[in-house]
Structure 1
Amino acid sequence: MWNSPAEFFAMGGYALYVWCSFGVCILVMLFEPMSICVRRKAIIQRLRQERLAEQFDKESRK
């Protein structure tokens, strides 16, 4: 039980560990969706390039 906000933020002497853990967790939760979005765009771009290359090959064989 904490009697004051200062005691809450001090976390019984473990504040550095606790708040750094929260910070890392927040960073991961922000980074992961952005990373997925970037990878998704790269995959879509690669698939478009492959489709265009296949179409070009089909046209050049005619």
Structure 2
Amino acid sequence: MEVIFILIGISLLLAIGFLFLFIRAMRKGQYDDTYTPSVRILFDKAKDNKSNKDKPSTKTK
């Protein structure tokens, strides 16, 4: 029965720790950029274009 009290104490400490880290991240502005992730998929990266140039073209004229 004592084990359940130890587990409850450890889980409460863990939850308080995660809450503290979340509040600290919010205050530092980690989640302020809401625009960039939504449009990131629309832009091509230079790495993707280089890998396409290495492949031979299968188009026929």
Instruction: Place the TM-score, normalised by the shorter chain, in its bin.
Output: 0.3 to 0.5
Q: TM-score normalized by structure 1? A: 0.47
TM-score, normalization: structure 2? 0.48
